């Protein structure tokens, strides 16, 4: 079947280590446009954060932000879809995370998901403090019971490096939520645990675009670099990870060169050569 949509992660995949788009990757995006293949950036960043790093003239068609909770048409910045957490769910989640004495942020509903309440757990987590410092203008202390009623978008728990215990426990304890892990963009070692309404992930956002915009009978290519890309990579017809991905992802999926060596373009060219 012909290729209809290309979905790429942003940080560590499409963007290089200095958060810049390589000229080779820009040319690849333009070529995809000429071929009428849908170009999608899918990132864990909030809408506000993604817009702060993406050039206005980036040649893409759609932006999936907040790990797929929000979808925006890029040409006119028109929001197409958002999935938020009902107040009752958010209140229960906040109570559970406080009970577990975790360091976490509870983010407001899309499109204001760069604002958050914060809670410091029993043990200090340096990477949590780094994120609080980075986004201090948008932070406020969490108080319980949760003020409302208002929807929220997600919770973000930050776990120290080389632990992994909290993520496994939350997956088991929160069956009604989507629990996604990724590697901290700050220290490259801590684990960030994103908690969304059930069914929110990069794969579900891509599937919505494929069904709603592209149409049936076309294939999807996905390119990623971290654990929050797992659902997307497993769902896509063609899946690649760039060379800077964790070792276990490199063993599981086809790999290309790193994000600093136009790995995105290498993945696209491999698939286009087959069609």
pLDDT in tens, 187-232: 999 999 999 999 999 999 999 999 999 887 899 999 999 999 999 9
Residues 189 and 270 in one domain: no
Q: Domain end: 197, 222, 244, which one?
A: 197
Q: Are strands 38-42 and 62-65 parallel, antiparallel or unpaired?
A: parallel
Q: Are 201 and 232 in contact (CB under 8 A)?
A: yes
| Domain that includes residue 230, residue range | 3-83+200-274
Distance CA 272, CA 275 (A): 5
Lowest-pLDDT range, 5-14, 89-98, 112-121, 215-224?
A: 215-224
Task: Kindly state the tokens that stand for 208.
Answer: 């919505």
Residues 69 and 120 in one domain: no
Residues 210 and 182 in one domain: no
Question: What is the count of structural domains for the chain?
Answer: 2
Residues 163 and 117 in one domain: yes
Above pLDDT 70, what percent of the chain? 99
Task: Kindly state the tokens that stand for 229.
Answer: 């890309």
Distance CA 207, CA 205 (A): 5
Q: Domain end: 197, 221, 242, which one?
A: 197
Residues 77 and 205 in one domain: yes
Residues 115 and 74 in one domain: no
Residues 117 and 44 in one domain: no
Residues 186 and 239 in one domain: no
For residue range 119-168, list pLDDT tens digits in order. 999 999 999 999 999 999 999 999 999 988 999 999 999 998 876 789 99
Residues 8 and 50 in one domain: yes
74 burial via Cβ count (<10 Å: 0-12, 13-18, 19+):
middle
Residues 113 and 191 in one domain: yes
CATH number at residue 105: 3.30.1240.10
Residues 159 and 130 in one domain: yes
CATH number at residue 7: 3.40.50.1000
pLDDT of the residue at 115: 98
Q: Domain end: 197, 220, 251, which one?
A: 197
Distance CA 266, CA 24 (A): 10
Average pLDDT in the chain: 96
Mean pLDDT, to the nearest integer, of 99-103? Answer: 97
């Amino acid at each position: 079947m012909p290729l209809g949509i290309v979905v790429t992660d942003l940080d560590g995949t499409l963007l290089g280590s200095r958060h810049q788009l390589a000229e080779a990757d820009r040319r690849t995006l333009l070529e995809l446009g000429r071929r009428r293949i849908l170009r999608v950036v899918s990132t864990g960043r909030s809408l506000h954060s993604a817009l702060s790093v993406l050039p206005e003239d980036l040649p893409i068609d759609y932006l999936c932000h907040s790990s797929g909770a929000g979808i925006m048409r890029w040409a006119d910045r028109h929001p197409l879809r958002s999935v938020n957490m009902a107040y009752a769910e958010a209140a229960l989640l906040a109570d559970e995370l406080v009970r577990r004495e975790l360091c976490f942020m509870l983010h407001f509903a899309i499109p204001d998901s760069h604002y958050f309440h914060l809670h410091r757990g029993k043990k200090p987590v340096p990477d949590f403090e780094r994120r609080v410092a980075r986004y201090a203008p948008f932070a406020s202390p969490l108080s319980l019971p949760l003020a409302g009623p208002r929807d929220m978008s997600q919770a973000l728990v930050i776990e120290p490096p080389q632990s992994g215990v909290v993520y496994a426990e939350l997956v088991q304890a929160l069956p009604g939520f989507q629990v996604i892990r990724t590697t901290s963009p700050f220290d490259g070692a801590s684990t960030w645990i994103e908690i969304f309404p059930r069914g929110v992930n990069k794969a579900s956002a891509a599937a919505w675009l494929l069904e709603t915009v592209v149409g049936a009978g076309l294939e999807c290519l996905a390119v990623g670099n971290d654990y929050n890309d797992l659902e997307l990579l497993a769902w896509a017809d063609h899946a690649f990870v760039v060379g800077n991905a964790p070792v276990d992802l490199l063993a599981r999926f086809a790999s290309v060169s790193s994000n600093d060596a136009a790995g995105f373009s290498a993945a696209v060219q491999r698939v286009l050569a087959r069609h």
